[in-house]
Amino acid sequence: MRTPLIAGNWKMNGSLALVETFGQAFSRARLPAGVEVALMVPYPYLGAVVDALAATPVAVGAQTLSDRPSGAFTGEVSGGMLAELGARYVLVGHSERRSLFHEDDEAVLARVRAALSCGLVPVLCLGETLEEREAERTEAVVLGQLEAVLDALAPEERERLVIAYEPVWAIGTGRTATPRQAQAVHAAIRDRLERYAGSLAHGLRILYGGSMNANNAAELLAQPDIDGGLVGGASLKVDDFLAICQSAG
Ligand code: PEP
């Protein structure tokens, strides 16, 4: 059985006040047994979030990392620094990084390697644009992004990933993939994992992301190959995010 993971992605949002709100709410909340929860926050809030959630089972993560361990790379943040602050997860290849910051498959792979070398769990994000979906290229695009990373990793490294399928047209748009659409792509991803190893297909968690909210989460999470959610906008509202966590139980 795969442990469901609900991961919030604050993107470049939030404040120290929101960190405190989450700390208080999650300290009081009773999370469903057997569900893992994580919060991916902007770098400056990492230390504060780790402290605010210290008494809770919620893990903390970052939204990207440098592909280098250290050096003259002004403005960059290394995986080692994230791990030192208490981060467990890091998003890699989020569509906003791919499109706005021109991170191609090679850059994504370098960041996955950097994360693994620091003991972080990379959450590898995959997804097609609307144009690609309409051209019936969804599987080719998503599986191509997946293979660009998996082909280059050792079998034991592959097992340390989390995958997130996030159709680009559903991110931040309020337009969610239907449970059927999402399940079809998740099943294709799992099928492709099977080619690497049965244990990989069986063990890796594949999260769905794209306008998941408190109303649609339960139906998405009920799909057999959807093992959790990567939640953007709704992770900024503590009650909504808690409700999504409850839906995973
Ligand atoms: C995301 O940022 O990964 C995301 C899925 O955003 P939203 O839930 O707002 O669509």
Closest CA to 79 of 50, 114, 47: 114
Whether ipTM exceeds 0.95: yes
Reading the block at residue 194, the tokens are 């099977």
Was domain 5-247 assigned CATH 3.20.20.70?
Answer: yes
Distance CA 9, CA 119 (A): 20
Residue from 91, 166, 213 whose mutation best tests the ligand 1 pocket (most atoms within 8 A of CB): 166
Residue 1 has pLDDT above 90, yes or no: no
The whole-model pTM stands at 0.97
Reading the block at residue 148, the tokens are 């660009």
How confident is the model over 103-126, as pLDDT tens digits? Answer: 999 999 999 999 999 999 999 999
Confidence category of residue 147, pLDDT binned at 50, 70, 90: very high
Which burial class, exposed, middle or buried, applies to 151 when counting CB atoms under 10 A from its CB (0-12, 13-18, 19+)?
Answer: exposed
Instruction: Find the radius of gyration of the CA atoms of the chain.
Output: 17
Take atom 4 of ligand 1 and give the residue whose Cα is closest: 232
> Does residue 165 contact residue 141 with C-beta atoms inside 8 Å?
no
Query: Does 211 belong to an annotated binding site?
Result: yes
For ligand 1, the distance from its centroid to the CA atom of residue 71, given in whole angstroms, is 32
